[in-house]
Amino acid sequence: MAKRKPTTTNREDKLPRLDRPPTLVTQVEQLLRQAIADGTFAGDRLPTEVELAEQLGVSRETVRRAAEALQREGLLVKFRRRGTFTQPPPGLPQQLVPRSTLIGYLQADYHSRGREEAATQTISGLMLQGALEQAGNAGFELVVRRAPHTKMAQAFQQMQAHCRLRGIIFASYGEEKLLRRAAGLGLPIVLLDHDLHLPQINSVRDDSFAGARQAVAYLASKGHRRIAFANWHRADLNPWRIRGYRQGLRDARLMRKRTWEVQAELTETGARHIVESLLAFSPRPTAVLCFNNTLARLVIDEFRRRGVRVPEDISVMGGGGEVVPGLTCHQADWYETGKQAVAVLVRAISHGHNHAPEHLLSLHLVEEGATVAEL
């Protein structure tokens, strides 16, 4: 009798894991959520738990647990002897209406690549952590969403449909059309890491104008007279740094050359372009102020690969962001900036229409390191 060949199992032969189907409670919750968004319920009033259970073919307990989850999000409001509503029924005394504790936090992403994305997420992560702490201290809950900057309108619409918000923070975003529409809904709004000075819209951002201006003054105090600026190619998202750099040159009565203002991505490729440009100049700048610390770190690495010594041959200064050991930079407290945004929003919620829009700036401080030499 011929022997049977042993069978072997390759990784390709293994069956994929099955996704567990959602529980009945989750399914009912999703159905109710969509029905609320579609305006299915007449007069904003839901059928009773018994009626919903019969319609959906589930137990009353399943309906109750799903409804309680939506109540915690602020999508449903339950009143004794009146029923459950998607909005408080007209004529109900205001003091009896449960007040939502939800604050929206919508972070814009710009689909950067690799290190560039990591650089921007360092700042956004610190701001979010500060916002979460301050919200908790004030008795509010943050509903956080991230979205590509081109999809912010859809993300805001979905957040509005699923949450009864008391106010919203738009982080790193300033598209005027959407902001005016959001303000038209009567929602208190704070722009974080941006500023448009629109009526009734608050803003909190770092004072990068003063930071860059201060950085130029610091370099000038070390004897540098030819100072270049390495800017992010998305200059429209932060025009204040380049303005502060130019003002700093005027303050110190230093020469400004447009060719010394080099734009690039926050990547190794961008750093290579910056270094090549700086080394081609004649006369060559003795110092370069970079848009942020990530770009400064990449520029230093590129200089050293080419045998250019930092700071002996050229000084490099960063403009804030990630912590780079030994780097001379100006830095804002991004964590505190996030806390300030929530504090402003809470004041706007408390004061209602009597709240005068606030526009706060977080100060930068120079942190001395080993990448700037004295001439």
Q: Answer whether residue 11 is part of any domain.
A: no
| 164 and 74 together in one domain | no
| 220 and 284 together in one domain | yes
Q: Answer whether residue 368 is part of any domain.
A: no
DSSP 37-63: HHT-SGGGBPPPHHHHHHHHTS-HHHH
pLDDT digits (tens, 9 = 90+) for 50-105: 999 999 999 999 999 998 888 876 778 777 667 888 765 555 555 554 567 899 99
| 48 and 80 together in one domain | yes
Residue 366 φ then ψ, to 5° = -80, 130
Q: Answer whether residue 93 is part of any domain.
A: no
Q: Answer whether residue 8 is part of any domain.
A: no
pLDDT at 15: 66
Which CATH number goes with the domain that contains 53? 1.10.10.10
| 197 and 212 together in one domain | no
Q: At what angle do helices 293-305 and 114-137 cross, to 10 degrees?
A: 150
| 194 and 274 together in one domain | no
| 200 and 234 together in one domain | no
| 151 and 188 together in one domain | yes
Query: pLDDT band at residue 129, thresholds of 50, 70 and 90?
Result: very high
The DSSP code for 88 is P
| 212 and 306 together in one domain | yes
pLDDT digits (tens, 9 = 90+) for 145-188: 999 989 999 999 999 888 888 999 999 998 899 999 888 888 99
pLDDT digits (tens, 9 = 90+) for 296-340: 999 999 999 999 999 999 999 999 988 899 999 999 999 999 999
Q: Answer whether residue 186 is part of any domain.
A: yes
Which residue has 């090549």 as its token pair? 276
Q: Where are the strands (E) in 256-318, listed by range?
A: 261-264, 287-290, 315-317
> Rounded to an integer, what is the distance from CA 97 to the centroid of its chain?
32
| 214 and 203 together in one domain | no
The DSSP code for 95 is G
Boundaries of domain holding 30: 24-88
CA distance 288 to 2: 79
Query: pLDDT band at residue 198, thresholds of 50, 70 and 90?
Result: confident
Number of domain units in the chain: 3
| 218 and 328 together in one domain | yes
Pairing of strands 165-171, 189-192: parallel
pTM above 0.75, yes or no: no
